[in-house]
């Protein structure tokens, strides 16, 4: 299996992107793009959710 080492733009930690994963597809399309690790992905998701909830309330 092919894995790529990508630096998370958020916490600057290297993480692995495995061939066939959704993130790998994104990486192949745009290797210079910004990618976040699982932790930061989750954090960003929660923040976005919180922002959305704040707007709704």
Of 10 and 24, the one with the shorter C-beta distance to Zn ion is 10
4 binding Zn ion? (CB under 5 A): no
Residue 6 touches Zn ion, criterion: CB under 5 A: no
Least gap, CB of 7 to Zn ion (angstroms): 9
Residue 15: phi, psi to the nearest 5?
Answer: -140, 165
H or E element at residue 24:
helix 22-29
CA dist 15 and 8 (Å) reads 7
The whole-angstrom separation of Cα 43 and Cα 15 is: 16
Which residues between 20 and 49 bind Zn ion (CB under 5 A)?
37, 40
Catalog residues that contact Zn ion under the rule CB under 5 A: 8, 10-11, 37, 40
């Amino acid at each position: 299996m092919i894995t790529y080492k990508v630096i998370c733009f958020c916490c600057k930690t290297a993480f692995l992107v495995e061939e066939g994963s959704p993130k790998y597809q994104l990486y192949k399309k745009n290797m210079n793009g910004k990618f976040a690790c699982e932790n930061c992905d989750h954090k960003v998701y929660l923040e976005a959710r919180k922002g959305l909830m704040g707007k709704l309330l």
